[in-house]
A and B are shown apart, each in its own frame.
Chain A
């Protein structure tokens, strides 16, 4: 397994779309270094031939009848939108 020093906090914060202050970066890098160091012991487990478990009781191929049912009215679906106009969510300009 990789060493905790591999944690490039700028890169990971970029992937997570999360702006961090210099103080947060320093604190998290240190704290997560400790956590990752602890996690290192998982590398000792022999997992050869072991299948991964994604869900304790996996349910596959869940289908529903293709029948139209009432959904949320537009007003309700948009009631928590930070900005809206004409039944649409308003966002900053995406394309120049």
Chain B
């Protein structure tokens, strides 16, 4: 356990809050001071509201003093990716388009965290509209990886991963459309989880690709992930895609579910392009599970090679549709040079969106356009069925799958200038979104040069409790999360 407050876990801190050896105001101050000390270098935050956070912390302390604690998250500072609405706070999606937008209401996850007593702290940087794998596409400048400030934190939830790794929050939330929680978690040495599609409400999340987007937690430990997930999961009538399913006490289930498990190793995920140090670290993690009596079985997901193309058709098509709402009329950037209303659409969008967003709108519009829909979008949806079936077939034989999260550790800022090279960062994570499955990235080592490595565990639909238990078995037996970056 690290000694600084800002590097401790939710579980450790909530015990101290309950014992009244620590107040939420003290903890929140420690996080604020840490943020002020390091964020000029890390640049994880788009904005924060110190007075608001301290007022929330004081309210949490007052509840505890009266014996009215709302539970383990009461008084814990949690920061949100800047695509999740918090009433009366900025919501920018790291885009010039929304540079001056202020949320008129709370997202459902925000409301749930408030109900749990969490201190909502700051708006975290991302690739503009969550489109990217490095957080370099932010209109407000890139975030740095706390382990090496010349490197990217991953993306698109790079601010969420970097802030947590740097001790600028105790937990954070991100969103994951093709790996945007798990990949930055791996590159920054923290736990990141994408729940099953439909488990967490997207009401109040800025939409990117609606058949893929999910909100999920970044935490220091799997135990904390169970805690935060429990607070945000559940059916919401304001998100018609959210699923009616019972939400167990995920944290209690960690202890209740003991292995050994049957774990599958998809051979297609250990092929060309995998960094040898990443591969070796994941092999070590597999050896750990084998040592615990788990049965390790090679499985095949034969359509893996088609995941990237399927994803970039479906995600861009849905994005081109979702982003049509940014027209300069009701909210967002409005061009001052427009001559008429149609000109206003063209110019507001041209001025408000960055290059990657424009590229994806163009690609998405093209694959949906007359004469191409069947060849691209409809075909991709059919291949998606086959990709999903691969996973479901594998689950006839195994409980979960183990893969690397990212083929490579954190790369240099500016290193990947070619869009296609950047898209390849997500090859191990996007299949999980296409199939709608839960996935979690857990730290499993470091490269010789000191960069974090993550492994991905992929579970069965709505079986988060089982997936978390498998991940926890590894996480509690290792001390990777005790290491802190050299800031």
Contacts and interface: CB of A to CB of B under 8 A. Distances in A.
Contacts of A64: 237
A20 B357 CA distance: 12
Contact of B309 (A2, A28, A42, A91): A42
Nearest to B387: A53
A68 interface: no
A69 to B, nearest CB: 11
Nearest to A31: B419
Contact of A80 (B101, B344, B376, B437): B101
B372 A59 contact: no
Size category of the binding interface on chain B: 35 or more
A26 interface: no
Contacts of B198: 56-57, 59
A76 B308 CA distance: 41
A32 to B, nearest CB: 6
B329 A89 contact: yes
B105 interface: yes
Nearest to B366: A12
A86 interface: no
Consensus secondary structure, chain A interface = loop
A59 B240 contact: yes
B331 A80 contact: yes
B184 interface: no
A91 B329 contact: yes
B297 interface: no
Interface string A79-95: 11111000001011110
Contacts, number: 174
A16 B361 contact: yes
A54 B308 contact: no
Contacts of B345: 17
Interface stretch (B66-74, B262-270, B333-341): B333-341
Contact of B362 (A32, A62, A76): A32
A35 B419 contact: yes
B53 interface: no
A72 B338 contact: no
B130 to A, nearest CB: 18
Interface residues of A, number: 52
Nearest to A84: B330
- Among B381, B382, B434, chain A packs the most CB atoms within 10 A around the CB of B382
Interface string B338-354: 11111111110110010
Contact of A72 (B105, B306, B350): B105
B296 interface: no
A79 B105 CA distance: 11
A80 B363 contact: no
Given A16-B320, A54-B211, A91 B362 contact: no
B234 to A, nearest CB: 14
B313 interface: yes
Interface in B399-443: 418-420, 423, 434-437
A41 B436 contact: no
Nearest to A34: B420
B102 A55 contact: no
B303 interface: yes
A93 to B, nearest CB: 7
A18 B350 contact: yes
A62 B243 CA distance: 11
A48 to B, nearest CB: 9
B463 to A, nearest CB: 13
Given A52-B384, A57-B461, A81-B331, A28 B362 contact: yes
Nearest to A79: B104
Interface string A1-23: 11000110101110111111000
Nearest to A72: B104
9 contacts: A2-B375, A18-B350, A34-B418, A41-B306, A50-B383, A53-B381, A53-B385, A55-B197, A55-B241
Given A1-B379, A38-B420, 13 more contacts: A2-B375, A13-B362, A18-B350, A31-B359, A35-B363, A42-B376, A43-B375, A52-B381, A80-B330, A82-B334, A83-B334, A89-B329, A91-B329
